[in-house]
């Protein structure tokens, strides 16, 4: 009986450690993934901006902006001084896109264009770029640098004296354009930022809207292509696919089996010869397969 109790106890302790390890990977390990992606995105965007400046004849003329780049590629650099935030923005708001940084909703205008450009970002994982988004106040500055200049936006009052409001994930009306009172038939150049709310949950969305400061920005360009309201996303970003696809579950299961196998071999080897080098020889491959397992496991749960 004592042996059974001891075995159950060791199994529970091991399971607890693995769960704690996964939580640590979610909160900190994913940040390493995002930081590496950001380094590449910034380099790519810097090169693209240099080429765009070299081919633009007159910087004073508002350009005709080309279609957005492919999903997952850099489209702008977002800076929010109040939050000490600077991130490259990728095209797309899918799970894979938001792992790299804030993502531009493809069916909204690009920043610097007339209309409501929208950007989503994680709040607690993958670098948590929008972790403090609720701290923005009316009048706060948001800068977005595109291939054609730096556009400065000022946070709008949400109606209650704050700079944000809380909505349902299906409240896609926050992506709608805002009519320009000075130019009937045209839309204001606005910027909308969205993230999950409350922290560590995808139950609601926190939304911040800002309006272009025309005195401190280049003139806004027309949208590069029509953006019909009926073609918007059904929700404010894809928060993940609970339990994933069958292929995701199968691959994750295979890596779970690999973790169990390597762990069992490690334990058997250490029991046979209890010394530091057998422990190290088993720990290295075990941690390697464990990290890969965590990377696949997090695809099966919502990302916040």
pLDDT at 145: 95
Q: Same domain, yes or no, for 99 and 163?
A: yes
Of 231, 258, 277, which one is at a domain's C-terminal end? 231
Q: Same domain, yes or no, for 49 and 182?
A: yes
pLDDT at 67: 65
Q: Same domain, yes or no, for 251 and 226?
A: no
Residue 45's domain spans which residues? Answer: 36-231
Indicate whether 30 pLDDT > 50: yes
pLDDT at 74: 94
pLDDT at 236: 75
Whole-angstrom Cα distance, residue 95 to residue 120? Answer: 11
Mean pLDDT value across residues 57-84: 78
pLDDT tens string 226-248: 554 444 555 676 544 555 677 77
* Residue showing tokens 């640098």: 145
Which among 118, 115, 121 is positioned nearest to 106, based on CA atoms? 118
User: What single string gives the DSSP state of each residue in 83-116?
Assistant: GTEEEEEEE--SHHHHTTS-EE-TTSPPTTBSEE
Whole-angstrom Cα distance, residue 89 to residue 108? Answer: 14
Q: Same domain, yes or no, for 213 and 266?
A: no
CB 130 within 8 A of CB 195: yes
Of 231, 259, 294, which one is at a domain's C-terminal end? 231
Q: Same domain, yes or no, for 53 and 196?
A: yes
pLDDT at 63: 56
* Residue showing tokens 């911040």: 208
Q: Same domain, yes or no, for 207 and 248?
A: no
Helix ranges (H only) for 25-167 are: 30-55, 95-98
Residue 100 inside a domain? The answer is: yes
Q: Same domain, yes or no, for 219 and 248?
A: no
pLDDT tens string 103-137: 999 989 999 999 999 999 999 999 999 999 999 99
Mean pLDDT value across residues 166-190: 89
The backbone torsions φ and ψ at residue 53, rounded to the nearest 5 degrees and listed phi first, read -65, -35
Indicate whether 69 pLDDT > 90: no
Of 187, 209, 231, which one is at a domain's C-terminal end? 231
Sorting pLDDT into bands at 50, 70 and 90, what band is 277? confident
Query: For a pLDDT cut of 70, what percent of the chain falls above it?
Result: 86
CB 86 within 8 A of CB 79: yes
Residue 123 inside a domain? The answer is: yes
């Amino acid at each position: 009986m004592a042996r059974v109790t001891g075995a159950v106890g060791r199994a529970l302790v091991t399971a607890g450690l693995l769960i704690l390890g996964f939580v640590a990977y979610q909160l900190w390990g994913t940040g390493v993934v995002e930081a590496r992606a950001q380094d590449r995105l910034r380099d790519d965007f810097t090169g693209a901006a240099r080429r765009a400046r070299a081919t633009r004849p007159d910087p004073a003329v508002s350009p005709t902006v080309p279609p957005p780049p492919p999903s997952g590629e850099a489209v702008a650099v977002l800076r929010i001084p109040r939050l000490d935030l600077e991130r490259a923005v990728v095209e797309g708001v899918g799970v894979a896109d938001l792992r790299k940084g804030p993502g531009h909703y493809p069916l909204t205008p690009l920043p610097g264009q007339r209309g409501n450009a929208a950007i989503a970002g994680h709040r607690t994982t993958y670098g948590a770029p929008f972790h403090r988004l609720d701290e923005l106040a009316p009048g706060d500055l948001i800068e977005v640098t595109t291939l054609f200049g730096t556009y400065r936006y000022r946070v709008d009052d949400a109606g209650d004296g704050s700079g944000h409001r809380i909505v349902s994930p299906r409240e896609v009306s926050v992506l709608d354009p805002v009519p320009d009172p000075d130019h009937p038939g045209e839309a204001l150049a606005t910027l909308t930022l969205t993230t999950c709310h409350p922290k560590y949950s995808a139950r609601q969305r926190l939304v911040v809207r800002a309006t272009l400061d025309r005195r401190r920005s280049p003139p806004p360009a027309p949208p590069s292509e029509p953006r019909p309201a009926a073609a918007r996303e059904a929700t404010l970003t894809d928060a993940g696919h609970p339990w994933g696809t069958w292929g995701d579950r199968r691959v994750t299961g295979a890596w779970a089996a690999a973790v169990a196998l390597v762990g069992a071999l490690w334990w058997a080897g250490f029991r046979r010869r209890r010394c530091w080098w057998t422990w190290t020889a088993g720990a290295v491959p075990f941690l390697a397969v464990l990290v890969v397992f965590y990377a696949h496991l997090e695809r099966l749960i919502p990302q916040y």
